[in-house]
């Protein structure tokens, strides 16, 4: 199988794509892949380091004043021609888009070349890139019921996020010694992504002091930019780190997680069934994290606090009531698992092989 993958801008687009590609390689070791992304974002560094062929396009998001949007639109038109040239050279069987503006360039080029196409939507709110591609793709994969209902039913499948497959099948490592945690205490992990959140860190300065005598322990991830400021507040019961590079293992050991509601994070939470308090980032397009979180909240699979309503006492009261109630933790865990889709990679791969008439490869 020869696959072109369009993914760009953020890890939320890139890492599900990498998870699917890794699965395809295991099923068909002779498969070939070409990634199309940006020249200067995350994927331009990560993908080549992993040994995959990579093409970076000169594209920008449609944001800013009218002049900047017009310039971005011009770049996009030019990027389609550039993508078409690379796709012609590579001769793929299928082009898969995972969101981000370079994904649109790749799919638009494939549509013009009459090559099979598939897009993946990680969020419950359909992203702008995928919105403009709906009529031009052969198949659509999504993760949430809300998105599924908004896509054309005849070509849409609710199969989940490939990251769920990776997380659910990873063998966890022991993390208590690494992070100086007590194996006999329940663990609350608080993480707001690799960059952290200034507003949440500000709340945590006061919260950390109030958490030092709890019967449960806390692993607090500040984000790299804030670690030097926050590390001084560490105590015996609250361990403070800048970043976690083995999040799946930490999640396996976590009794309650407090996190943002990005697509990849929620796919991991549901795959493992980790009880959660979600604090959606209000700084994302279309407020999609809040809608992502609501999918879990409405299924009684997580609790939510909006950032604008976040207060120290409210956060600690919710932590206390949840971590000390085994019945609540069990219910949240089971309901989260019902939303998890650990076979996402297998199911998406099956769709791709069916599209190519290659069902014997499944």
Q: Which span out of 88-92, 125-129, 245-249 was modeled with the highest average pLDDT?
A: 88-92
CB 220 within 8 A of CB 238: yes
Residue 185 has pLDDT above 90, yes or no: yes
Contact (CB, 8 A) for 278 and 296: yes
pLDDT in tens, 266-297: 999 999 999 999 999 998 878 999 999 999 99
- The residue behind tokens 């200067």 is 40
Residue tagged 């996402």 (tokens): 344
Residue 218: C-alpha distances to residues 37, 181, 201, 214, 332 (Å): 38, 9, 14, 9, 19
* Contact present, 113 and 132 (Cβ < 8 Å): no
pLDDT at 22 over 90: yes
Residue 290 token pair = 């809040």
Domains located in the chain, CATH noted: 2-161+342-361 (3.40.50.2000), 187-339 (3.40.50.2000)
- Residue burial 310-349, b: 16+ Cβ < 10 Å; e: rest: eebeebeebbeebbeeeebbeebbebbbebbbbbbbebbb
Name 241's bridge partners: 221
Closest of 158, 116, 75, 69 to residue 354, by C-alpha? 116
In contact, 124 and 294? CB cutoff 8 Å: yes
Structure-model confidence comparison of residues 110 and 362, the more confident one:
110
Are the CB atoms for 219 and 253 separated by under 8 Å? no
Query: Where residue 360 falls among pLDDT bands split at 50, 70, 90?
Result: very low
CB atoms near residue 191 (< 10 Å): 25
What Å distances lie between residue 312 and 111, 191, 209, 309, CA to CA?
51, 16, 11, 10
Give 123-159 pLDDT, tens digit per residue: 999 988 899 999 999 999 999 999 999 999 999 999 9
pLDDT, position 169: 82
Q: What separation in angstroms does the CA of 36 have from each of 56, 68, 124, 150, 272? A: 6, 23, 24, 27, 31
**pLDDT tier at 362 (50, 70, 90 boundaries)?**
very low
Digit-coded pLDDT (tens) for 191-211: 998 788 999 999 999 999 999
Q: Which residue has the higher pLDDT, 65 or 203?
A: 203
Average per-residue pLDDT for the chain = 92
pLDDT at position 349: 97
DSSP category for residue 220: E
Helix, coil or strand: residue 124: coil
* Paired tokens of 132: 């403009």
- How large a percentage of the chain has pLDDT more than 70? 98
pTM for the full predicted model: 0.86
């Amino acid at each position: 199988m020869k696959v072109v993958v369009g993914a760009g801008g953020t890890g939320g687009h890139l890492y599900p794509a990498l998870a699917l590609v890794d699965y395809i390689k295991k099923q068909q070791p002779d498969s070939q892949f070409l990634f199309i992304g940006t020249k200067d974002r995350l994927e331009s560094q990560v993908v080549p380091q992993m040994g995959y062929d990579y093409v970076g396009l000169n594209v920008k998001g449609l944001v800013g004043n009218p002049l900047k949007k017009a310039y971005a639109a011009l770049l996009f038109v030019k990027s389609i021609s550039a993508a078409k040239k690379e796709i012609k050279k590579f001769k793929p069987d299928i082009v898969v888009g995972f969101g981000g503006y370079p994904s649109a360039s790749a799919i638009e080029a494939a549509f013009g070349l009459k090559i099979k196409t598939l897009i993946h939507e990680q969020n419950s709110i359909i992203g702008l890139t995928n919105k403009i591609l709906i009529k031009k793709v052969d198949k659509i994969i999504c993760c949430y019921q809300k998105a599924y209902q908004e896509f054309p039913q005849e070509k849409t499948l609710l199969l989940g996020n490939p990251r769920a497959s990776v997380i659910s099948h990873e063998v966890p490592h022991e993390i208590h010694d690494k992070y100086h945690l007590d194996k006999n205490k329940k663990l609350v992990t608080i993480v707001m992504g690799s960059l952290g959140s200034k507003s949440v860190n500000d709340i945590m300065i006061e919260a950390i002091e109030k958490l030092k005598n709890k019967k449960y322990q806390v692993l607090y991830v500040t984000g790299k930019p804030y670690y030097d400021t926050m590390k001084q507040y560490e105590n015996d019961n609250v361990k403070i780190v800048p970043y976690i590079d083995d999040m799946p293992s930490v999640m396996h050991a976590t009794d309650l997680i407090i996190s943002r509601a990005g697509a990849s994070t929620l796919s991991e939470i549901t795959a493992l069934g980790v009880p959660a308090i979600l604090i959606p980032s209000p700084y994302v397009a279309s407020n999609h994290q809040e809608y992502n979180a609501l999918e879990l909240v409405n299924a009684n699979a997580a609790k939510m606090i909006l950032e604008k309503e976040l207060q120290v006492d409210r956060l600690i009261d919710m932590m206390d009531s949840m971590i000390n109630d085994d019945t609540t933790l069990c219910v949240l865990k089971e309901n989260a698992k019902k939303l998890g889709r650990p076979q996402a990679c297998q199911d998406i791969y099956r769709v791709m092989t069916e599209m190519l008439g290659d069902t014997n490869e499944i």
